[in-house]
Amino acid sequence: MQQLSKSQKARHAIRTFKTLADSVVLQGSYRPLGKVGQKLSDALRQLSPEIYGSMTDDRIVELKGLEYVIDRMPRGIENCKRIILTAQEDFHDTSFEKIMPLKRRRISFAVSDQEICFVVTRGKSEIYDILTHITFLNIEAYKIHSQICHRTEGVSSEWAELERLVTTSEVIEEGEKLEQAIWNLSIILGRTYKETRETYDYLENGRVQHGTNSGLFHIVYGVGKRVMAERLSEKNELTVYFTPSLLDMIDHQKYASIWAKSLKDRLLDAGVYDRPVHIISANMHSIRNLLYGAGTLAGINEDIPDDIYDMVRKVRDKEYEIRNFAKQHGFVFVEDKSGSNIDANIIDLATIDESWVHPALTLDYHAIGKQKPLVVVMDYAFGNQAYEIMDELLNPVEVEGQIKTLQIASISIMGKAGVLPGQKGDIMLATAHVLEGTANNYIVDNYLKSEDFPGIVTVYKGPMLTVLGTSLQNRDVLERFYSSSWKAVGLEMEGGHYQKAISGAIIRGHIQADIKTLYAYYASDNPMLSGQTLASGPMGDEGVVPTYMISKIILEKITSIGGAEQKSEEPQ
């Protein structure tokens, strides 16, 4: 039998996890302790994602991976015996608490202390994400159980002390008692005191400031107690359910259709359907702050820094002021109410006055005056949701018996991604998108070029790998795509799905075949370098320059589209 390479084994594990995840959704339920659940665990262990560090080491609990997962799961997940994934539930007139994780825009409701319902509105990628996190938590829970339960002695003294601490709701102030409790916990986790203290402090900050988790003591106790109950009776086993409405939603683009209709209705009501529209997928602040930041500072009699990046740093804590100024000058915020969790900004560039735009932002005001373009900035999509959102947005609409189509002038995708040859803060320009695990590969005619970017950042140009999920990657797979003839420069989750929708819209005649597409990513992590994975934390201030540089260059490039041709046609 031919020996498989490490990358081949990892790719097989990814396919296995995806296939099993699809099957349990169709089946309607599964138990992580059952056969399918064990196979999901085996696949994740075989893959050994970089983001989950020491997950495969049964002697120690993976703490950075735990931080990552807890930030993206609802508070109280550690106590749950029933987890329901559904596509539509009307809980607004109930006493069920609505819970939003700290770092993932996902809606869930606490039905009881031991039951949570996820409302899935973002398609398959969200399902894979949730199941990956559940599988990880279950693996770590059984490590904790094996550490605290001994065949002859029963539960360990460290567990008994943790149980006393949690069940008595004792408030431990900073000092000797807290240090002793953390030391006790470090023995259960198989980690050093310093490692345990860092995770305790990190989660405690989220618990105190945002109320997004229960704290490290309660989390460890919750998952350990659940496994102990499972060992006593099958009735106590964690079960994950998938409702029929979830099956009906998958691949039907229900939420994306509602989202796109709402946005296009706003444009129709404003009477701007015949004007060129530039679509930008980005965050909700960088395009707005670049266009309106200097004007906001001038309006409140504050100095405008000469450096444009210092200017945007200065307005980052002036959300109220910049929103007010923007609303008076052609800016409309469209809050998403469809459940897609994608807000949008509509900006009428015809109302932009050069006198209050930062001089370092060199827009083509001649072309703007002639064309009167609009910019529609839509918030980040999640994985496969990007296809559904873009596909619906590019579709024509019927109004009073007439078919109306948005006059799309360009589509820009500004995303954050993992870089393969570089480090955090670098920039990647896509020449193609390769959808991992499929035969779908898309060549990109990128309107952005390396020479568009000044030398203060490192720019890499090449194919981007569109992955199934950030938690479903490992070094061997990424090394293959980087060092082989693929020569991929980065990985992300949405670009290939966006390009699939754009290609489909061109084939169907909804947009022009020569439409300008602009793809740029800033590196939020390097998954192949220890200490630079997503689990190591956010970029912070170092992300300002690459984020705003991409936004600045996109604005400058799209406003110049058609400008040179128009100038040449004018009489001399």
User: Parallel, antiparallel, or unpaired: how do β-strands 344-348 and 374-378 relate?
Assistant: antiparallel
CATH number at residue 419: 3.40.50.1580
Q: Are residues 264 and 227 in the same domain?
A: no
Q: Is residue 279 part of a domain?
A: yes
Q: Are residues 336 and 473 in the same domain?
A: yes
| Calpha distance 265→260 (Å, rounded) | 8
Q: Are residues 304 and 196 in the same domain?
A: no
Sign of CA dihedral 163, 169, 170, 176: positive
Q: Which residues face 4 on adjacent strands?
A: none
- Residues of the chain where predicted confidence (pLDDT) is lower than 50: 564-572
Q: Are residues 194 and 285 in the same domain?
A: no
Q: Is residue 572 part of a domain?
A: no
The distance from CA 136 to its chain's CA centroid, rounded to whole angstroms, is: 18
Q: Are residues 279 and 242 in the same domain?
A: no
Q: Quick one: pLDDT at residue 207?
A: 94
Q: Are residues 276 and 228 in the same domain?
A: no
pLDDT single digits (tens) 220-274: 999 999 999 998 898 999 999 999 988 887 777 888 999 999 999 999 888 888 8
Q: Quick one: pLDDT at residue 569?
A: 44
Q: Are residues 323 and 219 in the same domain?
A: no
Q: Is residue 226 part of a domain?
A: yes
Q: Quick one: pLDDT at residue 531?
A: 63
pLDDT single digits (tens) 167-198: 987 788 888 999 999 999 999 999 999 999 99
Instruction: For residue 319, give the nearest of 278, 349, 289, 355 by alpha carbon.
Output: 289
Q: Quick one: pLDDT at residue 540?
A: 66
Q: How many CB atoms lie within 10 A of CB 319?
A: 11
Q: Is residue 1 part of a domain?
A: no
Q: How many helices (H) and strands (E) in the chain? A: 19, 20
Q: Are residues 379 and 501 in the same domain?
A: yes
Q: Are residues 215 and 321 in the same domain?
A: no
How many structural domains compose the chain? 2
Task: Show the tokens assigned to 17.
Answer: 């996890």
Q: Are residues 403 and 484 in the same domain?
A: yes
Q: Quick one: pLDDT at residue 536?
A: 62
Q: Are residues 327 and 241 in the same domain?
A: no
Q: Which H helix or E strand runs over 459?
A: strand 459-466
- This prediction has a pTM of 0.90
Q: Quick one: pLDDT at residue 140?
A: 97
Q: Are residues 267 and 293 in the same domain?
A: yes
Task: Show the tokens assigned to 243.
Answer: 């409702």
Q: Quick one: pLDDT at residue 278?
A: 97
The domain boundary, picked from 247, 272, 303, lies at 247
Instruction: For residue 533, give the nearest of 210, 180, 68 by alpha carbon.
Output: 68
Q: Report CA-CA distances (Å) from 500 to 496, 505, 562.
A: 6, 9, 25
Structural domain range at position 444: 253-567
